[in-house]
Structure 1
Amino acid sequence: MARPREFDLDEATQKALLAFWQRGYESTSIADLMEAMGIEKGSLYKAYGDKRSLYLTALERYLATGMGYHQGILVEDRPFPTILREWLHSLNEHSRGDHGATGCMAVHAMIEVAPHDAEIRDRLVKHWQELVGLLKIRLAQGQSRGEVRTDCDAEALAEILLRTMGGLAAFSRLGQVPPAHIVETLVQLFCSAAR
């Protein structure tokens, strides 16, 4: 008869997520994970298989949580400039280093792991496409309301906004979180309707 698991799988996955987010995939050793998760090597392998499988589980959790957040704020029926400002400020705060982790784990995975791992690359591409789709819908709605510039296609604006945010998240890994006036400049660039 199998012994019952002696740790909370959900809690352990969250602790692994934070470890990977703080250090990156390559720099996070099995010993680091065991210490962060508070479990033994045998339990780690039995529950997750191997380090890469644990990373995939943690990354999937991060992406799902992030998408839920993005969906929640971007579908609100408020003026788009207000939503964009709040969204950018919240992403900025997220990049400052909750629990010692800076930037965006998805951006880190895109830079560090995706070039060498097709499965992770495909998952990240899907995530970014979903986010561009959300942004496109919201930007098009803002255009129809006169809140967003109309001289550019909503999909192009969505791609530009996503790539800009990805760049800002990458810079935050260096401790360079953009000041508030950068956020205001982005809002003005996207929300100047009279163009």
Structure 2
Amino acid sequence: MAGRPKIFDEQEAIQKATEVFRNKGYDTASADELLGAMGIGKGSFYLAFKGGKQELYRRSIQQFAENFNHKIADAVDNAEDQVEFIRQFFLRLGDAKDCDIERGCYLGNALVQLSEKDAEIKKITAELLKGLQKIFAKAITKAQKNGLLKIEENPETLAWHLTNLWNGIHVTRRMENSPEILRSLIEMNLKILQ
């Protein structure tokens, strides 16, 4: 017996649930809000997400992380000036008024809030950070070869510096949301990209 066929698009449903998690947080997102956003009933939900809300959240983080890294990798690869793209990517982090999709703060929040409580979330967020580091390392290597960066530091180390900055800004903004202060911290850290 194969069971009932799925009558909804799982990726689309997860994306809709992500918006609820992003706006409300994991703990305060109710089952009714999630089901309403996803447009599915309890039966369909538990057939697709046997681990319930926790499985849905993990899959939400995973899908968001994959999409975020893919989007950033494409944008960096297609940028005329990859170093300037990276600078602007970080400077926009300082200006974000809320949890903006483009800046990846949904992932940053998951990293800060739940990675120590949930081994699977920790694994997903660690892979995200490693993916970002690889994207930055590739761009830095290319920029050094093309003479766009004077610094001769190892591209891998520079890329980890940027990854640490991305991570740190998401932590810092939880206690300090002044765009001026955040931008000054970012600008100080980006001086390394000369």
Q: Structure 1 residues 36-45 or 127-136, which shifts more?
A: 36-45
Distance of 1:169 and 1:95 partners within structure 2: 12
| Matched-pair contact (CA < 8 Å) for 1:73–1:87 | no
Residue from 78, 81, 96 that aligns with 1:79: 81
| Matched-pair contact (CA < 8 Å) for 1:22–1:102 | no
TM normalised by structure 2 equals: 0.79
Distance of 2:179 and 2:164 partners within structure 1: 15
The one-letter code matched in structure 2 to 1:158 is: A
Q: Structure 1 residues 114-123 or 167-176, which shifts more?
A: 167-176
Report the aligned-residue RMSD. Answer: 3.2
| Matched-pair contact (CA < 8 Å) for 2:108–2:171 | yes
* 1:178 alignment counterpart: 179
| Matched-pair contact (CA < 8 Å) for 1:13–1:58 | yes
The one-letter code matched in structure 2 to 1:191 is: L
* Identity between Structure 1 and Structure 2 (%): 24
Distance of 2:110 and 2:45 partners within structure 1: 21
* 2:138 alignment counterpart: 137
Alignment of 1:160-175 (within 5 A): 160-172=161-173
Alignment of 1:16-165 (within 5 A): 16-49=17-50, 50-76=52-78, 78-89=80-91, 91=93, 96-98=98-100, 104-165=105-166
The one-letter code matched in structure 1 to 2:76 is: L
Distance of 1:92 and 1:19 partners within structure 2: 23
Q: Shift in Å at residue 139 of structure 1?
A: 1.1
Q: Shift in Å at residue 89 of structure 1?
A: 4.7
| Matched-pair contact (CA < 8 Å) for 1:17–1:58 | yes
Q: Shift in Å at residue 62 of structure 1?
A: 0.2
Q: Structure 1 residues 112-121 or 166-175, which shifts more?
A: 166-175
Question: Matched residue of 1:190: which SS?
Answer: coil
| Matched-pair contact (CA < 8 Å) for 2:22–2:99 | no
Q: Structure 1 residues 147-156 or 170-179, which shifts more?
A: 170-179
Call closer, same or farther: CA 1:186–1:128 in 2, change over 3 Å. same
The one-letter code matched in structure 1 to 2:166 is: M
Distance of 1:187 and 1:141 partners within structure 2: 20
The one-letter code matched in structure 1 to 2:23 is: Q
Distance of 2:175 and 2:186 partners within structure 1: 22
Q: Shift in Å at residue 54 of structure 1?
A: 0.9
| Matched-pair contact (CA < 8 Å) for 1:80–1:142 | yes
